[in-house]
Structure 1
Amino acid sequence: MNDTTFRSGYVAVIGRPNVGKSTLINRILGQKLCITSRRPQTTRHRVLGIKTTETAQLIYVDTPGLHSDGKRAMNRYMNRAAAASIDDVDVVIFMVDSLSWTDEDEAVLNRLQRSAVAPVVLVLNKVDKINDKAALLPQIEQLSQRFDFADVVPVSARKGMNIESLESTLEHYLPQGELIYDPEHLTDRSSRFLAAELIREKLFRHLGQELPYSLTVEVEQFKDVDGLLDISAVIYVERSGQKSIVIGKKGELLKQVGKDAREEMETLFGNKVFLQLWVKVREGWSDNERMLRNLGYNDDL
């Protein structure tokens, strides 16, 4: 590597909930790091995804989606975590859906107008669903009149369209500098954290509309026993009635969640996994600042 031209820095990826931020980072990294689902607010923590090339190290900051509902302590925490990511980065991606514009997009744009210091790249996602790309021009022109974007890049995070162009654009705005992380590292998060997130993702996919927002996962044991990962995790819910739903009839739902999570952990960690799941009630955890801190929801702030 030529140190005089090597660049390194942080890239915050912000946008409304469920706009495709985690999918974009997974696509850039070439493997799954950030959990995803079709439901908004799946991401609760800031997660760093590290991409190292011959010419640069880009450290992507996946953030919870900024949203307007700040009534619960959990939602306030996610908004703080997302807003904090705009500060102290070298470049910001403002990701929007090329097919729609919502009040939550408006709120993110307003926050950028108030506080963004770093260059902001407007990324329009889901352009694979638009046959005539000229149809994007009115949206780009309208948004560019409201904010001085450093660049505009249309992409499809799901299909991988134009990702290399986006990476090249971002690299241009990074300062010259040395490696910040070991080039072999993919993230700053622990394997224990990633295991908990995978379990939570499977719960999002198997449960009904509202219940996933009332649960969290804590990994109590993560041991390597001669190459076998022995993992025990507790799923906390807020009411006793939710516990029976998570377990399912004859334990079938919990068993399926465990099976899906275990298989994905084995792919991610490259080891066989023995996974045990338990479900416990912790009333009001999502609206209690102290409980949130005890469950690790203060690590990002």
Structure 2
Amino acid sequence: MTEHAPQNAIPRIPLNSGYDIPQLGYGVFKVDPAQTEKLVSEALEVGYRHIDTAAIYGNEEGVGRAIAASGIPRKELFITTKLWNDRQAGDDPRRALEESLTKLGLEHVDLYLVHWPAPANGNYINAWTQLITLNEAGLSRSIGVSNHLVEHLEKIVAETDTLPAVNQIELHPAHQQREVAEWCRSRGVHIEAWGPLGQGKYDLFGTPAIRDAASAHGRTPAQVVLRWHLQTGNIVFPKTTSRDRMVENIRLFDFELSDAEIDAITALDPGDGSGRVGAHPSELN
């Protein structure tokens, strides 16, 4: 078994911007800035080409150094960063993105997201309007949102007549956010799942549906959950600080879950929102 996954093994999903995105990537949420360059370099060596960061993570510089040192052609990479809540007003989104580009050492990102709607601040519609301008200026090839509920999505689209390319939301088997996911998918907005393994905050891997599928396919529970995400159409970028886990997480394209296995995992969501492990989008400002 080789460590590297063939580059053509990771599907690329067409976005409404005309660009496409690798369905599997590497996320650096809560990665120590001092370790980011090393870990992103390892992820690129293993075969990842999609890196997800954010201004608030404080590690864009490390991502940038890893990109520069990799020698990988820019056109092969897909880099995402995000606009933090306190930069949404006026024309501050442009300054925020320019700062992120400087830290990343890039002329453009592939995807720029409004990180949270932060509704109490009242600026997310302005932020989305500014991202449209930044997209038109070529500073981000695609634009989208993160943690936006249907009410937020409907408002930004009503004001601008522009759909996001993606909505990055908390999504894992116990919390699938079906209302917002269905709203997005019915309009060609792709779902990116953050916390795809539930952040270890509940016994996801001990559930019979996942344990039995892992046994049947000779895979780890994590691989089964990530494969469930891929087969249901989600874009995922699991975070790990272990090179071995990076390799494990990319080995998802030589097995397939059955319809019954997919249905059993999908049925793990109680449907009442009790499975949420992160902040509620209406409450974080």
Fold shared by both chains (TM-score > 0.5): no
Please, what TM-score do these two structures have when normalized by structure 2? 0.33
Structure with greater strand percent: 1
**Structure-1-length-normalised TM-score:** 0.31
When Rg is computed on C-alpha atoms for both structures, the one with the higher figure is 1
Task: Specify which structure has the higher proportion of helix.
Answer: 2
